[in-house]
A and B are shown apart, each in its own frame.
Chain A
């Protein structure tokens, strides 16, 4: 049987992607399914029930941990976006300054360094600084925030930088020629143009901060147990069906965000296409008018 080359390639793509998506989603889906299981035995199905969700929402330790994690993630994401924007700006626009290679290394290394090393390093810093500056002596949300900003800003930099590189410099130069100051150029021209990247960097930093376990464990204090730390300790103690319910809630929230962002990109793309079509129609009209 003769199959066209395009069809073959399409079939191969569908096969690869369906295998990949099965691998990626099967574990998550099993958690979601078993979160509705009445039995305490995590994998023996008995009856459909919302029991574990009730237990989850009545568990004050989990609710407190969620609050702590959300607070840290929010402030980490804000600081990371600010530092990331500045760092990306330096990388793209400022050239040949003292310690440029070191700067680039500092902004890349936190992404790849094993977390046990970064966590230990930061803790030892806080312990050493604690003698001099009292803020660091009692570890808690502030030390976690500093640790999170340090690695999240590296990711934020990558995201913002890739957008900043593509920016057309001529618009900025035109604004400068027309007398706009550097601050005005930044807030009126550059910031709106890189806004999608800023939002992406914020969300990435937020999820990274929400999710971090190892670095946080090193720098956390006794009253700052974050959500991943709580999940980890309860998972290590044994399987608990409440974690299934929690996982399902996390999956629900994340997929709502993902769906929302997908809708936004689709809309933006449609608007862009429509605008392009309108411009093309106008051009055709003009051309026709001049020909007559």
Chain B
């Protein structure tokens, strides 16, 4: 079949129609604009960029019983400046005899990836149903979908604890109906972690998909159907390419934070679901090993660098409409 690109065709008067962006000539930036840039820029440099440089620095230090609890990297001895970089934290992570760290990195990536796929499979139909509703019902449905995420995050996880636990609601119902004889072990399993992540991250998937679906050119879908495409083929050939930026944005909004998730595996997961966020928390709060926690964080960042850059480029292209 010949490739026909209708990509930029927009029917005037359709919902997605907007006047073309004005050409902005390169002009000199006035002092007033400089002042406007400076406030958010300085805030983010001070409270976002510099903290990462500090994490990086401290990851080369070792713990000491002191305040703060790590060894200084730069010391002055006999008038000469000395820089001592300890690589122990990183060698610990990669050569730990039990492989605890490497295993938990792999497990985190696996859990995050699988949760992302689940969110996409569940979220796409929801976003589609929202986008194709009448505008009056759409408003209220939209509100209903995102309202749970305005209530407390910890409370929502707690709600799943009461549902999934040994004498919880699901086991109660199944036992009374006589489907099972003894309660199923659901809390503190990977299943519970997946349920928790999907439940809490679903809105982050639905929102970008919804805004992408709202911009879809329906004539392409109709054309595909008229040309005899089956629904599945229409979906993959006409709908998915048009909502690509929404799919990327939604997936990254789920995948990247889910890698470092702490609360969900802590409350719903078992002792074996040691995700990397939990390791970092334990090293920091329980073992008070700040340098090791920093090294864990830097390694986590290195893993996430590629997805973060991908998300960032996608956001720039789509004009930041998440």
Contacts and interface: CB of A to CB of B under 8 A. Distances in A.
A115 B266 CA distance: 14
Contact of A108 (B136, B285, B312): B312
Contact of B152 (A13, A93, A247): A247
A90 B260 contact: no
Interface string A40-65: 01111000000000000000000000
Contact of B159 (A30, A90, A149): A30
A196 interface: no
A31 B162 contact: yes
B55 to A, nearest CB: 5
Given A13-B129, A125-B50, A86 B24 contact: no
B159 A247 contact: yes
Contact of A254 (B151, B168, B199): B151
Contacts of B266: 236
Interface string A1-42: 000000001001100110011011111101100100000011
Most buried by A among B41, B139, B284, B321: B41
Contacts of A89: 36
B90 interface: no
A27 B65 CA distance: 45
B156 A116 contact: no
Interface in B143-167: 143-145, 147-148, 150-163, 165, 167
B280 interface: yes
Interface stretch (A70-78, A224-232, A275-283): A224-232
A95 B24 contact: yes
B159 A27 contact: yes
A126 to B, nearest CB: 9
Contacts of B262: 115-116, 214
Contact of B256 (A44, A114, A266): A114
A30 B162 contact: yes
Interface string B301-313: 1001000100110
Interface string A92-104: 0111110100011
Given A158-B320, A158-B322, A258 B126 contact: no
Contacts of A25: 148
A30 B154 CA distance: 15
Interface stretch (A161-169, A187-195, A284-292): A161-169
Interface in B285-322: 285, 290, 293-294, 297, 300-301, 304, 308, 311-312, 315-316, 319-322
Given A27-B199, A254-B150, A127 B158 contact: no
A27 B156 contact: yes
A121 interface: yes
Interface residues of B, number: 95
Nearest to A255: B147
A149 B55 contact: no
A43 B259 contact: no
Contacts of B48: 106, 109-110, 121, 150
B22 interface: yes
A115 B257 contact: yes
A114 B261 contact: yes
Interface string A194-232: 000000000000010011011001100000000110011
Given A236-B267, A258-B150, A262-B139, A114 B257 contact: yes
Contacts of A228: 152-154
B121 to A, nearest CB: 12
Interface stretch (B26-34, B98-106, B234-242): B26-34
B41 A99 contact: yes
B311 A112 contact: yes
A124 interface: yes
A146 interface: yes
B145 A239 contact: no
B43 to A, nearest CB: 6
A175 interface: no
A118 B33 CA distance: 29
A42 to B, nearest CB: 6
A83 interface: yes
Contact of A113 (B47, B150, B257): B257
Given A86-B36, A94-B33, A116-B297, 4 more contacts: A28-B148, A31-B155, A115-B260, A147-B47
19 contacts: A16-B125, A16-B126, A17-B141, A21-B144, A27-B199, A30-B169, A86-B37, A90-B40, A94-B37, A107-B44, A113-B308, A114-B261, A115-B260, A124-B58, A125-B51, A150-B44, A207-B150, A232-B154, A246-B155
Interface of B: 18, 22, 24, 26, 29, 32-33, 36-37, 39-41, 43-45, 47-52, 54-55, 58, 68, 122, 125-126, 128-130, 132-133, 136, 139-141, 143-145, 147-148, 150-163, 165, 167-169, 172, 199, 202, 252-253, 256-257, 259-263, 266-267, 277, 280-281, 284-285, 290, 293-294, 297, 300-301, 304, 308, 311-312, 315-316, 319-322
The list of the 5 closest CB pairs from A to B, nearest first, reads A114-B260, A121-B51, A27-B159, A106-B44, A87-B40
